[in-house]
Every structure is written in C-alpha cells, then in structure tokens.
Structure 1
C-alpha cells in the first residue's frame, strides 16, 4: 500500500459526511493500510479517510501514548464537560494553526479491521485528535468551531493561500 496525498480545504470530499463501513472487504483492508502508511509520516497525528479522498468512516492515529492504529465507524461516546484550549492545525488546512477549544477528555468506540470492537480514549492530544478526526468524518473542518473573530482571520488566511 502507500502514503496517499492529503486533500486540502476546498475539496468537496472534506465537506461530505462519510458513509459507514459495512462489510470488511479487501478494499477496506487496503484503505486501512493506506491510512496507517499515511499517518506514519513525520509530524502527523491523525488522518481521516476523506482526507485521502475516500468517503468512508475510518481514521488512523499516530500518538505517543497509543502507537499507530486505525478505527472503523468511530462513534464518540463520551466527552468531558471540562475543556482544553490550544492551537490546532490540520493537514487539510496546511501550515495554519488557530486556537480551538475542545473537551479535555474524549472516548470513541468502533471496530478494527478484523471486526473486533476497539476504543480510543484519553485526554490532551488524544481527546483533541478524536474530536478532530470524527469531525472530518462528519464533513467538518476544525476551523468550523473557531471563535468568530478567529474564524474570520482563519478564512482570510486560507483564501490568501489558495
């Protein structure tokens, strides 16, 4: 399999909610391998399937505390009321970082490539990643949830780069 190119803001696949994965076929197994290969590149923490042009509900992660993995049909089942603030970036909005508030803790469940139920949970960067990647699968970008004045600035900077 291979490292796939990342789709960037403006590509309609990023704004389309992804379809659930039904049967785990050879095509799905290939997608999982491509997601793992693509996230296993320097400076990458997570990659959603639509970021590589595939409108299916799957994302991969590369986190120090959780290693490298992939989850199919993830559903966020828990978010803390406590929040965290911090700059957030995205491979699909290259080289731009903006302050974004997220829940401090998140937990999602889904399946692995063998159909076994798995969970990804944590605080800090793990919580941010879960919310960010599931957002992608829902057709959202992290800039959608920015504070109004910051979002205005972000959209201006994105337009300047296109």
Structure 2
C-alpha cells in the first residue's frame, strides 16, 4: 500500500506500482470505440502508461496534452492514457483538444487495471479512481520507470519518464 496526498491530505492506494525491472501485468481496457485492448496489442513497442483520476480535471488534462505533444516525436513508442472515465468522455476530450498522438483507454468496466498495478485509491474522496502515475515499459513489457505522483494535484515528471525511454 502506498500513501499519496490530495491537497495535503493523505490517502492510501491498494498496493504499490510495479518495480523497475519487473514484467508489467497484462491488462484489458476499453478503447473509445468500446473494443477491448490489452498490453499484448502493443507488443514490440515501448509503452508509456499515463494514468490519472479523471480527464475532467486540469492536471489530468494537462498530462494528456503534454504526453500527446511529446509522443509525436518518439520512435516505436505508444503513449496510453488510462483512467476510469467513460470512453465517451475520453473521446470528447480528445476531439475537442485535437489529441491524436496518444491512445485513450478506460478501466471503467471492472477496475482490474488499477487493482493489478496497485494504484487504485483505497480510501478518501477519490476512492475507486486511479492515482496519478506513470509507468514506462520497454518493447518486451519490462518496467523501465515508474512514478506515483506524491501529491495528486501535481503533474508527473515528464522528463524522467521520457529519459527512461531514451536510455532504454
């Protein structure tokens, strides 16, 4: 269990992020067209998992914008943005913002992604949503970098995540 804060108030998650060097757990998430996507669909590519509570908050939206901009310049890399938002909300946001370089996936059906990656809030006002986190994987699904943002309203360390990709 990890502890993060929301505006200074501490809350727990159900576990801990996968450790660097470990094999990432497969997942099944929902795309904007309601199809299912799994980690194996991105086999052979480096993957950045940009995980957040809700696309309808400023910091979450900014992380999608930032990774969308950065992703345009990355070779053999897919940025996957994951939340428990409905795919319709994710699609609406991307359409309104012109977001085209990231893949939006939802964990709305059963929350199993958040549980297996240890980042679902276990208590507090965001209970059941995902804590803001970034997990970077190599082409074989091995964890190169992980960050669970200590203060939920803060943005992730984009530079550290992207450096992990470039150093791989």
- In the superposition, the TM-score normalised over structure 2's length comes to 0.29
Bigger strand share: 1
Q: Normalized against structure 1, the TM-score is what?
A: 0.29
